[in-house]
Amino acid sequence: MYTQFFKLTHSPFSIAPDPRFLFMSERHREALAHLLYGVAGGGGFVLLTGEIGAGKTTVCRCFLEQIPENCNVGYIFNPKLTVNELLKSICDEFRVDYHPQSGDPASIKGYVDALNAFLLQAHANRRHNVLIIDEAQSLSAEVLEQLRLLTNLETNERKLLQIILIGQPELRTLLEKPELRQLAQRVIARYHLDSLSRAETARYVQHRLAVAGIAAASPLPASLTKSIHLHTQGVPRRINLLCDRALLGAYAEGKATVNRRILDKAAREVFGSSKTASSDDRRQRWNYAALGIVGGAALAGAAAFALIGQQPSQASKRNVPAPTVAAPLAPPQKPASAPAIVAKPVVAVVAAVAPPPNFDLDQAPGTVPTDAQSTYRKLAKLWGQTLADGDPCQVLQTASLRCFSSNKGFAELRQLDRPAVLNLRDPANQPYTALLTGLTDTQALLTIGDTSYTVNLIALAHHFQGDFVTLWKVPAGFREKVHRGDRGEDIDWIAAQLAKLNGAPPPAANQPFELAMIRQIREFQSAQGLQPDGLIGPKTLMQLNRATDPSEPRLQRTLVAATEPPRK
Protein backbone atom coordinates (compact mmCIF):
# COMPACT_ATOMS: atom_id res chain seq x y z
CA MET A 1 0.00 0.00 0.00
CA TYR A 2 2.76 2.46 0.92
CA THR A 3 5.53 1.16 -1.38
CA GLN A 4 4.84 3.63 -4.20
CA PHE A 5 4.56 6.52 -1.75
CA PHE A 6 8.07 5.84 -0.41
CA LYS A 7 9.36 4.95 -3.90
CA LEU A 8 10.05 1.32 -2.98
CA THR A 9 9.93 -1.63 -5.34
CA HIS A 10 8.93 -4.16 -2.65
CA SER A 11 7.40 -4.13 0.80
CA PRO A 12 10.48 -4.01 3.05
CA PHE A 13 9.06 -5.40 6.28
CA SER A 14 6.92 -8.34 5.29
CA ILE A 15 7.16 -11.21 7.79
CA ALA A 16 7.23 -13.72 4.93
CA PRO A 17 10.65 -15.47 4.77
CA ASP A 18 11.72 -13.86 1.50
CA PRO A 19 15.39 -14.86 0.96
CA ARG A 20 16.09 -11.58 -0.81
CA PHE A 21 15.77 -9.78 2.53
CA LEU A 22 17.94 -12.17 4.50
CA PHE A 23 20.06 -10.35 7.10
CA MET A 24 22.59 -12.45 8.98
CA SER A 25 23.70 -10.74 12.17
CA GLU A 26 26.79 -11.94 14.00
CA ARG A 27 24.52 -13.89 16.36
CA HIS A 28 22.92 -15.65 13.39
CA ARG A 29 26.33 -16.44 11.96
CA GLU A 30 27.47 -17.84 15.29
CA ALA A 31 24.33 -19.98 15.54
CA LEU A 32 25.00 -21.26 12.03
CA ALA A 33 28.56 -22.06 13.05
CA HIS A 34 27.31 -24.19 15.94
CA LEU A 35 25.00 -26.14 13.64
CA LEU A 36 27.74 -26.83 11.11
CA TYR A 37 30.26 -27.65 13.80
CA GLY A 38 27.81 -30.07 15.39
CA VAL A 39 27.16 -31.86 12.12
CA ALA A 40 30.89 -32.29 11.61
CA GLY A 41 31.36 -33.45 15.19
CA GLY A 42 30.54 -37.11 14.69
CA GLY A 43 26.87 -37.44 15.50
CA GLY A 44 24.60 -36.96 18.48
CA PHE A 45 22.33 -33.98 19.14
CA VAL A 46 22.72 -30.31 18.24
CA LEU A 47 20.49 -27.77 19.98
CA LEU A 48 19.42 -24.36 18.64
CA THR A 49 17.01 -22.31 20.72
CA GLY A 50 15.69 -18.77 20.49
CA GLU A 51 12.67 -16.62 21.19
CA ILE A 52 9.78 -16.48 18.75
CA GLY A 53 10.84 -14.42 15.75
CA ALA A 54 14.55 -14.43 16.65
CA GLY A 55 15.55 -15.87 13.28
CA LYS A 56 15.90 -19.61 13.88
CA THR A 57 14.30 -20.34 10.50
CA THR A 58 16.74 -17.94 8.85
CA VAL A 59 19.67 -19.84 10.34
CA CYS A 60 18.16 -23.17 9.32
CA ARG A 61 17.75 -22.02 5.72
CA CYS A 62 21.41 -21.02 5.57
CA PHE A 63 22.37 -24.29 7.21
CA LEU A 64 20.51 -26.29 4.58
CA GLU A 65 22.29 -24.32 1.87
CA GLN A 66 25.68 -25.37 3.24
CA ILE A 67 25.06 -29.07 3.81
CA PRO A 68 27.20 -31.06 1.34
CA GLU A 69 25.64 -33.31 -1.28
CA ASN A 70 26.80 -36.42 0.58
CA CYS A 71 24.27 -35.74 3.35
CA ASN A 72 20.77 -37.21 3.50
CA VAL A 73 18.50 -34.63 5.17
CA GLY A 74 15.18 -35.21 6.87
CA TYR A 75 13.06 -32.30 8.13
CA ILE A 76 10.18 -32.67 10.60
CA PHE A 77 8.04 -29.51 10.76
CA ASN A 78 5.29 -30.75 13.07
CA PRO A 79 6.72 -32.63 16.06
CA LYS A 80 3.42 -33.06 17.93
CA LEU A 81 3.49 -36.75 17.14
CA THR A 82 3.42 -40.06 18.91
CA VAL A 83 6.45 -42.34 18.83
CA ASN A 84 4.95 -44.37 15.98
CA GLU A 85 3.99 -41.26 14.01
CA LEU A 86 7.44 -39.73 14.45
CA LEU A 87 9.24 -42.91 13.33
CA LYS A 88 6.94 -43.14 10.31
CA SER A 89 7.65 -39.47 9.45
CA ILE A 90 11.41 -40.05 9.72
CA CYS A 91 11.18 -43.05 7.42
CA ASP A 92 9.16 -41.00 4.96
CA GLU A 93 11.69 -38.16 5.04
CA PHE A 94 14.60 -40.52 4.32
CA ARG A 95 12.47 -42.53 1.86
CA VAL A 96 12.92 -45.71 3.86
CA ASP A 97 10.67 -48.64 2.98
CA TYR A 98 9.21 -49.73 6.31
CA HIS A 99 6.24 -51.77 5.07
CA PRO A 100 6.35 -55.35 6.40
CA GLN A 101 5.79 -58.16 3.94
CA SER A 102 2.73 -59.31 5.90
CA GLY A 103 0.93 -56.08 5.10
CA ASP A 104 0.25 -55.42 8.80
CA PRO A 105 0.92 -51.93 10.19
CA ALA A 106 4.58 -51.45 11.07
CA SER A 107 5.53 -51.65 14.75
CA ILE A 108 8.12 -49.51 16.51
CA LYS A 109 10.60 -52.35 16.02
CA GLY A 110 9.77 -52.47 12.32
CA TYR A 111 10.41 -48.77 11.88
CA VAL A 112 13.66 -48.87 13.88
CA ASP A 113 14.96 -51.95 12.04
CA ALA A 114 14.24 -50.32 8.70
CA LEU A 115 15.96 -47.10 9.76
CA ASN A 116 18.99 -48.97 11.10
CA ALA A 117 19.37 -50.86 7.83
CA PHE A 118 19.13 -47.58 5.91
CA LEU A 119 21.70 -45.84 8.13
CA LEU A 120 24.19 -48.71 7.80
CA GLN A 121 23.82 -48.75 4.03
CA ALA A 122 24.24 -44.96 3.88
CA HIS A 123 27.41 -45.23 5.96
CA ALA A 124 28.75 -47.91 3.63
CA ASN A 125 28.14 -45.48 0.76
CA ARG A 126 29.96 -42.70 2.68
CA ARG A 127 26.82 -40.66 3.17
CA HIS A 128 25.86 -38.80 6.34
CA ASN A 129 22.34 -38.56 7.72
CA VAL A 130 20.95 -35.42 9.35
CA LEU A 131 17.50 -35.17 10.92
CA ILE A 132 16.19 -31.67 11.68
CA ILE A 133 13.22 -31.28 14.00
CA ASP A 134 11.68 -27.80 14.18
CA GLU A 135 9.49 -26.57 17.06
CA ALA A 136 11.15 -29.27 19.14
CA GLN A 137 9.85 -27.80 22.40
CA SER A 138 6.59 -29.60 21.54
CA LEU A 139 8.21 -33.05 21.68
CA SER A 140 7.10 -35.30 24.51
CA ALA A 141 9.63 -36.92 26.83
CA GLU A 142 8.69 -40.32 25.37
CA VAL A 143 9.42 -39.17 21.82
CA LEU A 144 12.72 -37.57 22.89
CA GLU A 145 13.79 -40.82 24.50
CA GLN A 146 13.04 -42.69 21.29
CA LEU A 147 15.15 -40.17 19.38
CA ARG A 148 18.00 -40.84 21.79
CA LEU A 149 17.73 -44.55 21.11
CA LEU A 150 17.97 -43.87 17.39
CA THR A 151 21.41 -42.36 17.94
CA ASN A 152 22.72 -45.55 19.53
CA LEU A 153 23.72 -46.94 16.14
CA GLU A 154 27.35 -45.99 15.62
CA THR A 155 30.74 -47.00 14.27
CA ASN A 156 34.12 -46.58 15.95
CA GLU A 157 34.39 -43.09 14.46
CA ARG A 158 30.92 -41.56 14.60
CA LYS A 159 27.23 -42.01 15.21
CA LEU A 160 25.24 -42.72 12.09
CA LEU A 161 22.42 -40.24 12.72
CA GLN A 162 22.83 -36.57 13.54
CA ILE A 163 19.74 -34.95 15.08
CA ILE A 164 19.27 -31.17 15.21
CA LEU A 165 16.61 -29.88 17.59
CA ILE A 166 15.36 -26.34 16.92
CA GLY A 167 12.93 -24.75 19.32
CA GLN A 168 11.93 -22.04 21.73
CA PRO A 169 13.63 -21.55 25.15
CA GLU A 170 11.25 -24.09 26.68
CA LEU A 171 13.26 -26.76 24.89
CA ARG A 172 16.24 -26.09 27.15
CA THR A 173 14.02 -26.45 30.21
CA LEU A 174 12.61 -29.69 28.82
CA LEU A 175 16.05 -31.24 28.44
CA GLU A 176 16.89 -30.42 32.05
CA LYS A 177 14.34 -32.96 33.29
CA PRO A 178 15.94 -35.90 35.14
CA GLU A 179 14.38 -38.49 32.82
CA LEU A 180 16.13 -36.86 29.83
CA ARG A 181 19.59 -36.52 31.33
CA GLN A 182 20.97 -39.24 29.05
CA LEU A 183 19.84 -37.28 26.00
CA ALA A 184 21.21 -34.02 27.43
CA GLN A 185 24.62 -35.66 27.76
CA ARG A 186 24.61 -36.40 24.03
CA VAL A 187 24.21 -32.76 23.01
CA ILE A 188 27.55 -31.94 21.37
CA ALA A 189 26.73 -28.34 20.43
CA ARG A 190 24.11 -25.90 21.65
CA TYR A 191 23.40 -22.25 21.02
CA HIS A 192 20.73 -19.81 22.18
CA LEU A 193 19.97 -17.19 19.54
CA ASP A 194 19.69 -13.81 21.22
CA SER A 195 18.01 -10.76 19.74
CA LEU A 196 19.77 -8.05 17.74
CA SER A 197 21.76 -5.31 19.44
CA ARG A 198 20.85 -1.68 18.89
CA ALA A 199 23.56 -1.27 16.24
CA GLU A 200 22.43 -4.47 14.51
CA THR A 201 18.83 -3.27 14.64
CA ALA A 202 19.84 -0.12 12.76
CA ARG A 203 21.68 -2.16 10.13
CA TYR A 204 18.78 -4.57 9.86
CA VAL A 205 16.27 -1.78 9.17
CA GLN A 206 18.48 -0.06 6.60
CA HIS A 207 19.32 -3.39 4.94
CA ARG A 208 15.63 -4.21 4.46
CA LEU A 209 14.96 -0.77 3.01
CA ALA A 210 17.95 -1.05 0.67
CA VAL A 211 16.81 -4.42 -0.65
CA ALA A 212 13.33 -2.97 -1.13
CA GLY A 213 14.82 -0.40 -3.50
CA ILE A 214 14.97 2.74 -1.40
CA ALA A 215 16.40 5.50 -3.57
CA ALA A 216 15.82 8.55 -1.38
CA ALA A 217 16.34 9.43 2.27
CA SER A 218 15.30 6.68 4.66
CA PRO A 219 11.73 7.06 5.96
CA LEU A 220 13.01 5.52 9.21
CA PRO A 221 15.83 7.87 10.29
CA ALA A 222 18.72 6.71 12.47
CA SER A 223 17.42 8.86 15.33
CA LEU A 224 14.61 6.33 15.77
CA THR A 225 16.95 3.35 16.20
CA LYS A 226 16.94 3.52 19.98
CA SER A 227 13.14 3.60 20.13
CA ILE A 228 12.77 0.80 17.58
CA HIS A 229 15.14 -1.36 19.58
CA LEU A 230 13.34 -0.61 22.85
CA HIS A 231 9.92 -1.39 21.40
CA THR A 232 11.03 -4.60 19.71
CA GLN A 233 13.84 -5.76 22.00
CA GLY A 234 15.81 -6.47 18.83
CA VAL A 235 13.61 -9.39 17.72
CA PRO A 236 13.59 -9.36 13.89
CA ARG A 237 9.95 -10.33 13.50
CA ARG A 238 8.88 -7.63 15.94
CA ILE A 239 11.03 -5.11 14.07
CA ASN A 240 9.23 -6.04 10.85
CA LEU A 241 5.81 -5.65 12.45
CA LEU A 242 6.64 -2.31 14.03
CA CYS A 243 8.35 -0.76 11.01
CA ASP A 244 5.64 -1.93 8.64
CA ARG A 245 2.94 -0.35 10.80
CA ALA A 246 4.99 2.84 11.27
CA LEU A 247 5.46 3.27 7.51
CA LEU A 248 1.75 2.70 7.04
CA GLY A 249 1.06 5.40 9.64
CA ALA A 250 3.39 7.88 7.93
CA TYR A 251 1.76 7.09 4.59
CA ALA A 252 -1.70 7.68 6.07
CA GLU A 253 -0.58 11.11 7.30
CA GLY A 254 1.20 11.96 4.07
CA LYS A 255 4.57 12.27 5.81
CA ALA A 256 7.80 11.25 4.06
CA THR A 257 9.50 10.37 7.34
CA VAL A 258 8.36 8.43 10.40
CA ASN A 259 8.63 10.52 13.56
CA ARG A 260 8.64 9.49 17.23
CA ARG A 261 4.90 10.05 17.64
CA ILE A 262 4.05 7.84 14.67
CA LEU A 263 6.45 5.14 15.87
CA ASP A 264 5.07 5.10 19.41
CA LYS A 265 1.52 4.93 18.06
CA ALA A 266 2.50 2.02 15.81
CA ALA A 267 4.03 0.25 18.81
CA ARG A 268 0.79 0.62 20.79
CA GLU A 269 -1.22 -0.73 17.89
CA VAL A 270 1.08 -3.71 17.28
CA PHE A 271 2.25 -4.60 20.79
CA GLY A 272 -0.35 -2.93 22.99
CA SER A 273 2.25 -0.95 24.94
CA SER A 274 5.02 1.56 24.52
CA LYS A 275 8.41 1.10 26.18
CA THR A 276 10.59 3.94 27.38
CA ALA A 277 14.32 4.15 27.59
CA SER A 278 15.95 2.63 30.66
CA SER A 279 18.69 4.28 32.66
CA ASP A 280 21.23 1.93 31.07
CA ASP A 281 20.26 3.23 27.64
CA ARG A 282 20.86 6.81 28.77
CA ARG A 283 24.44 6.09 29.80
CA GLN A 284 27.27 7.47 27.74
CA ARG A 285 28.96 4.56 25.95
CA TRP A 286 31.93 4.17 23.68
CA ASN A 287 30.88 3.56 20.13
CA TYR A 288 33.12 0.82 18.88
CA ALA A 289 30.62 -0.16 16.20
CA ALA A 290 32.32 2.31 13.86
CA LEU A 291 35.39 0.10 14.00
CA GLY A 292 33.57 -2.82 12.41
CA ILE A 293 34.56 -5.21 15.19
CA VAL A 294 32.59 -8.46 15.09
CA GLY A 295 33.28 -10.61 18.12
CA GLY A 296 30.56 -13.15 17.35
CA ALA A 297 31.79 -13.68 13.82
CA ALA A 298 34.98 -15.25 15.12
CA LEU A 299 33.31 -18.55 15.96
CA ALA A 300 31.30 -18.47 12.76
CA GLY A 301 34.52 -18.35 10.77
CA ALA A 302 36.22 -21.08 12.80
CA ALA A 303 33.56 -23.70 13.17
CA ALA A 304 31.23 -23.18 10.26
CA PHE A 305 33.61 -24.75 7.80
CA ALA A 306 34.53 -28.00 9.49
CA LEU A 307 32.30 -30.03 7.19
CA ILE A 308 33.82 -32.26 4.55
CA GLY A 309 33.70 -31.11 0.96
CA GLN A 310 31.69 -28.44 -0.79
CA GLN A 311 28.93 -29.86 -2.94
CA PRO A 312 25.70 -28.56 -4.54
CA SER A 313 23.08 -27.52 -2.04
CA GLN A 314 20.91 -30.21 -0.50
CA ALA A 315 18.33 -27.53 0.22
CA SER A 316 17.74 -26.95 -3.47
CA LYS A 317 16.32 -30.45 -3.67
CA ARG A 318 13.88 -29.60 -0.93
CA ASN A 319 12.59 -26.46 -2.61
CA VAL A 320 14.19 -24.20 -0.02
CA PRO A 321 15.06 -20.83 -1.59
CA ALA A 322 18.75 -20.01 -1.61
CA PRO A 323 19.41 -16.99 0.61
CA THR A 324 21.57 -14.08 -0.41
CA VAL A 325 23.73 -12.96 2.49
CA ALA A 326 24.27 -9.25 2.15
CA ALA A 327 27.05 -7.39 3.89
CA PRO A 328 25.68 -5.29 6.76
CA LEU A 329 25.38 -1.61 6.12
CA ALA A 330 27.54 0.86 7.97
CA PRO A 331 26.45 1.54 11.58
CA PRO A 332 24.87 4.89 12.48
CA GLN A 333 27.25 7.72 13.18
CA LYS A 334 28.18 8.73 16.67
CA PRO A 335 26.55 11.80 18.27
CA ALA A 336 28.34 15.12 18.02
CA SER A 337 29.38 14.89 21.68
CA ALA A 338 31.64 11.95 20.88
CA PRO A 339 32.36 11.89 17.15
CA ALA A 340 32.93 8.42 15.74
CA ILE A 341 36.29 7.74 14.18
CA VAL A 342 35.50 5.95 10.96
CA ALA A 343 38.90 4.88 9.69
CA LYS A 344 38.73 3.60 6.14
CA PRO A 345 40.99 0.54 6.15
CA VAL A 346 43.69 0.14 3.56
CA VAL A 347 43.43 -3.47 2.49
CA ALA A 348 46.00 -5.63 0.85
CA VAL A 349 45.02 -5.44 -2.81
CA VAL A 350 45.72 -8.76 -4.49
CA ALA A 351 43.94 -9.54 -7.74
CA ALA A 352 41.72 -12.59 -7.43
CA VAL A 353 42.37 -14.55 -10.57
CA ALA A 354 41.23 -17.99 -11.53
CA PRO A 355 43.79 -20.70 -10.76
CA PRO A 356 45.45 -22.83 -13.42
CA PRO A 357 43.06 -25.57 -14.53
CA ASN A 358 45.26 -28.31 -13.08
CA PHE A 359 45.62 -26.71 -9.63
CA ASP A 360 43.56 -27.94 -6.70
CA LEU A 361 43.98 -28.01 -2.92
CA ASP A 362 43.38 -31.75 -3.21
CA GLN A 363 45.92 -32.16 -5.98
CA ALA A 364 48.49 -34.95 -6.08
CA PRO A 365 51.03 -34.84 -3.23
CA GLY A 366 54.38 -33.20 -3.81
CA THR A 367 53.23 -30.61 -6.36
CA VAL A 368 52.47 -27.76 -3.93
CA PRO A 369 55.12 -25.00 -3.56
CA THR A 370 56.75 -25.35 -0.12
CA ASP A 371 58.97 -22.26 0.06
CA ALA A 372 57.81 -20.75 3.35
CA GLN A 373 60.40 -17.95 3.13
CA SER A 374 58.79 -16.72 -0.10
CA THR A 375 55.38 -16.63 1.61
CA TYR A 376 56.77 -14.56 4.48
CA ARG A 377 58.39 -12.19 1.98
CA LYS A 378 54.97 -11.55 0.44
CA LEU A 379 53.50 -10.91 3.88
CA ALA A 380 56.32 -8.50 4.78
CA LYS A 381 55.81 -6.65 1.49
CA LEU A 382 52.21 -5.90 2.47
CA TRP A 383 53.67 -4.08 5.49
CA GLY A 384 56.09 -2.14 3.27
CA GLN A 385 59.11 -4.23 4.26
CA THR A 386 61.70 -6.18 2.28
CA LEU A 387 62.49 -9.38 4.12
CA ALA A 388 66.16 -10.32 4.27
CA ASP A 389 67.39 -13.87 4.71
CA GLY A 390 67.09 -15.45 8.11
CA ASP A 391 64.29 -16.22 10.52
CA PRO A 392 61.40 -13.98 9.35
CA CYS A 393 60.14 -13.13 12.82
CA GLN A 394 63.59 -12.14 14.08
CA VAL A 395 64.44 -10.13 10.96
CA LEU A 396 61.16 -8.17 11.08
CA GLN A 397 61.76 -7.03 14.66
CA THR A 398 64.21 -4.47 13.27
CA ALA A 399 61.20 -2.85 11.53
CA SER A 400 59.18 -2.74 14.79
CA LEU A 401 57.08 -5.66 13.60
CA ARG A 402 56.38 -8.78 15.62
CA CYS A 403 55.01 -12.18 14.69
CA PHE A 404 51.85 -13.43 16.31
CA SER A 405 51.25 -17.19 16.12
CA SER A 406 47.93 -18.88 16.82
CA ASN A 407 46.16 -22.18 16.32
CA LYS A 408 42.63 -20.73 16.54
CA GLY A 409 42.08 -20.56 12.80
CA PHE A 410 39.31 -18.57 11.18
CA ALA A 411 38.01 -17.41 14.56
CA GLU A 412 41.05 -15.28 15.30
CA LEU A 413 41.75 -14.42 11.67
CA ARG A 414 38.37 -12.71 11.39
CA GLN A 415 38.84 -10.96 14.70
CA LEU A 416 42.35 -9.68 13.95
CA ASP A 417 41.46 -8.83 10.32
CA ARG A 418 44.97 -8.87 8.88
CA PRO A 419 46.85 -10.93 6.26
CA ALA A 420 48.48 -14.07 7.60
CA VAL A 421 50.64 -17.02 6.64
CA LEU A 422 48.56 -20.20 6.90
CA ASN A 423 50.23 -23.52 7.66
CA LEU A 424 48.53 -26.10 5.45
CA ARG A 425 48.87 -29.82 4.73
CA ASP A 426 48.72 -31.48 1.32
CA PRO A 427 46.89 -34.80 0.75
CA ALA A 428 50.07 -36.68 1.81
CA ASN A 429 50.12 -34.67 5.07
CA GLN A 430 53.21 -32.72 3.96
CA PRO A 431 53.35 -29.10 5.20
CA TYR A 432 53.25 -26.02 3.01
CA THR A 433 52.28 -22.36 3.42
CA ALA A 434 49.81 -19.97 1.84
CA LEU A 435 49.32 -16.24 2.24
CA LEU A 436 45.76 -15.29 3.23
CA THR A 437 44.80 -11.81 1.98
CA GLY A 438 41.00 -12.00 1.78
CA LEU A 439 38.22 -13.65 3.76
CA THR A 440 34.45 -13.65 3.29
CA ASP A 441 31.74 -15.78 4.85
CA THR A 442 32.33 -18.56 2.33
CA GLN A 443 35.66 -17.99 0.57
CA ALA A 444 39.30 -17.17 1.18
CA LEU A 445 41.78 -15.41 -1.10
CA LEU A 446 45.06 -17.31 -1.00
CA THR A 447 48.46 -16.93 -2.61
CA ILE A 448 50.45 -20.15 -2.96
CA GLY A 449 53.75 -19.75 -4.71
CA ASP A 450 53.12 -17.06 -7.29
CA THR A 451 49.43 -17.90 -7.87
CA SER A 452 46.52 -16.04 -6.25
CA TYR A 453 43.08 -17.62 -6.28
CA THR A 454 39.88 -18.03 -4.31
CA VAL A 455 38.94 -21.20 -2.49
CA ASN A 456 35.83 -22.30 -0.67
CA LEU A 457 36.32 -22.35 3.09
CA ILE A 458 34.88 -25.82 3.46
CA ALA A 459 37.46 -27.15 1.00
CA LEU A 460 40.19 -25.19 2.78
CA ALA A 461 39.21 -26.74 6.12
CA HIS A 462 40.50 -30.10 4.81
CA HIS A 463 44.02 -28.71 4.75
CA PHE A 464 44.02 -26.04 7.47
CA GLN A 465 44.11 -27.07 11.12
CA GLY A 466 44.02 -23.51 12.41
CA ASP A 467 47.76 -22.68 12.62
CA PHE A 468 48.76 -19.27 11.26
CA VAL A 469 51.25 -16.44 11.74
CA THR A 470 50.46 -12.75 11.28
CA LEU A 471 52.29 -9.50 11.94
CA TRP A 472 51.63 -6.55 14.21
CA LYS A 473 53.33 -3.23 14.82
CA VAL A 474 54.74 -2.47 18.26
CA PRO A 475 54.61 1.06 19.70
CA ALA A 476 57.75 2.97 20.58
CA GLY A 477 59.24 1.88 23.90
CA PHE A 478 57.26 -1.37 23.84
CA ARG A 479 57.62 -3.61 26.90
CA GLU A 480 56.47 -7.22 27.13
CA LYS A 481 54.87 -6.55 30.51
CA VAL A 482 53.49 -3.32 31.97
CA HIS A 483 52.86 -2.85 35.69
CA ARG A 484 50.62 -0.43 37.49
CA GLY A 485 52.37 2.89 37.95
CA ASP A 486 54.70 2.44 34.95
CA ARG A 487 55.37 5.40 32.64
CA GLY A 488 56.94 5.63 29.24
CA GLU A 489 56.47 6.00 25.48
CA ASP A 490 54.37 2.84 25.20
CA ILE A 491 52.00 4.03 27.96
CA ASP A 492 51.72 7.44 26.28
CA TRP A 493 50.87 5.75 22.97
CA ILE A 494 48.14 3.61 24.57
CA ALA A 495 46.64 6.64 26.34
CA ALA A 496 46.63 8.58 23.05
CA GLN A 497 44.83 5.79 21.17
CA LEU A 498 42.20 5.40 23.88
CA ALA A 499 41.58 9.15 23.91
CA LYS A 500 41.26 9.20 20.14
CA LEU A 501 38.72 6.38 20.19
CA ASN A 502 36.69 8.05 22.89
CA GLY A 503 36.67 11.43 21.15
CA ALA A 504 38.67 13.00 24.00
CA PRO A 505 41.48 15.54 23.67
CA PRO A 506 45.06 14.22 23.50
CA PRO A 507 46.30 13.33 27.00
CA ALA A 508 49.39 14.82 28.62
CA ALA A 509 52.65 12.93 28.22
CA ASN A 510 54.28 10.73 30.86
CA GLN A 511 51.02 9.61 32.46
CA PRO A 512 51.20 6.60 34.78
CA PHE A 513 49.50 3.32 34.00
CA GLU A 514 46.78 3.61 36.64
CA LEU A 515 43.26 2.42 37.38
CA ALA A 516 41.46 4.87 35.08
CA MET A 517 43.46 3.71 32.06
CA ILE A 518 43.04 0.07 33.07
CA ARG A 519 39.27 0.56 33.13
CA GLN A 520 39.36 2.07 29.64
CA ILE A 521 41.42 -0.86 28.39
CA ARG A 522 38.94 -3.33 29.87
CA GLU A 523 36.06 -1.55 28.13
CA PHE A 524 37.97 -1.62 24.86
CA GLN A 525 38.85 -5.30 25.26
CA SER A 526 35.25 -6.19 26.03
CA ALA A 527 34.05 -4.36 22.91
CA GLN A 528 36.60 -6.27 20.83
CA GLY A 529 35.60 -9.68 22.13
CA LEU A 530 38.88 -9.98 24.05
CA GLN A 531 39.27 -11.08 27.64
CA PRO A 532 38.72 -7.86 29.64
CA ASP A 533 41.71 -8.31 31.96
CA GLY A 534 43.16 -4.80 31.57
CA LEU A 535 46.53 -6.22 30.52
CA ILE A 536 48.45 -4.91 27.53
CA GLY A 537 49.04 -7.97 25.39
CA PRO A 538 49.70 -8.40 21.66
CA LYS A 539 46.03 -8.84 20.74
CA THR A 540 45.01 -5.69 22.61
CA LEU A 541 47.76 -3.70 20.89
CA MET A 542 46.82 -5.21 17.52
CA GLN A 543 43.22 -4.14 17.93
CA LEU A 544 44.24 -0.64 19.03
CA ASN A 545 46.37 -0.40 15.89
CA ARG A 546 43.54 -1.74 13.79
CA ALA A 547 41.15 0.86 15.21
CA THR A 548 43.38 3.88 14.76
CA ASP A 549 45.82 3.21 11.90
CA PRO A 550 44.20 3.06 8.44
CA SER A 551 47.55 2.29 6.81
CA GLU A 552 47.81 -1.21 8.24
CA PRO A 553 46.97 -4.00 5.78
CA ARG A 554 43.54 -5.59 6.17
CA LEU A 555 41.85 -8.67 4.82
CA GLN A 556 39.76 -8.11 1.72
CA ARG A 557 36.06 -8.64 2.44
CA THR A 558 34.89 -8.66 -1.19
CA LEU A 559 36.54 -11.13 -3.55
CA VAL A 560 36.24 -10.48 -7.27
CA ALA A 561 36.44 -13.21 -9.87
CA ALA A 562 35.51 -15.58 -7.07
CA THR A 563 35.85 -18.97 -8.66
CA GLU A 564 36.61 -22.18 -6.84
CA PRO A 565 39.54 -24.29 -8.06
CA PRO A 566 38.31 -27.22 -10.11
CA ARG A 567 37.86 -30.44 -8.16
CA LYS A 568 39.28 -33.70 -9.44
The predicted-structure confidence for 520-540, as pLDDT tens digits, reads as follows 888 888 777 777 788 888 888
Q: Is residue 5 over pLDDT 50? A: yes
Nearest by Cα to 426 from 356, 383, 367, 497? 367
Segment among 118-122, 271-275, 473-477 with least mean pLDDT: 271-275
pLDDT band at 375 (very low <50, low <70, confident <90, very high): very high
Quote the CA–CA distance of 444 and 460 in Å, as a whole number.
8
The pLDDT of residue 365 is 52
Q: Is residue 58 over pLDDT 80? A: no
Higher pLDDT, 367 or 139: 139
Residue type at position 11: S
Quote the CA–CA distance of 120 and 100 in Å, as a whole number.
19
The pLDDT of residue 559 is 66
Quote the CA–CA distance of 23 and 229 in Å, as a whole number.
16
Helix ranges (DSSP H) in 287-368: 297-303
The answer to whether residues 114 and 91 touch, using CB atoms and an 8 Å cutoff, is yes
Q: Is residue 349 over pLDDT 50? A: no
Higher pLDDT, 366 or 435: 435
Residue type at position 320: V
The answer to whether residues 88 and 329 touch, using CB atoms and an 8 Å cutoff, is no
Higher pLDDT, 88 or 325: 88
Buried b (16+ CB within 10 A) or exposed e, 113-133: ebbbebbeebbeeeebbbbbb
From the DSSP assignment, how many helices (H) and strands (E) are in the chain?
20, 11
Overall pTM > 0.85: no
What is the average pLDDT value for the chain, to the nearest integer? 77
Quote the CA–CA distance of 250 and 458 in Å, as a whole number.
46
The predicted-structure confidence for 284-326, as pLDDT tens digits, reads as follows 333 333 333 333 333 334 333 333 333 333 333 333 333 333 3
pLDDT band at 228 (very low <50, low <70, confident <90, very high): very high
The answer to whether residues 551 and 382 touch, using CB atoms and an 8 Å cutoff, is no
Q: Is residue 108 over pLDDT 60? A: yes
Segment among 154-163, 312-321, 463-472, 480-489 with least mean pLDDT: 312-321
- The listed range with the strongest mean pLDDT (230-244, 317-331, 529-543) is 230-244
DSSP track, 91-134: HHHTT-----TT-SPP-HHHHHHHHHHHHHHHHHTT-EEEEEES
Q: Is residue 147 over pLDDT 80? A: yes
The predicted-structure confidence for 67-79, as pLDDT tens digits, reads as follows 777 888 999 987 7
Quote the CA–CA distance of 116 and 110 in Å, as a whole number.
10
Rounded to an integer, what is the distance from CA 137 to the centroid of its chain?
Answer: 25
Q: Is residue 351 over pLDDT 70? A: no
The predicted-structure confidence for 480-525, as pLDDT tens digits, reads as follows 888 888 899 989 998 998 888 777 888 889 989 888 888 888 888 8
Q: Is residue 401 over pLDDT 80? A: yes
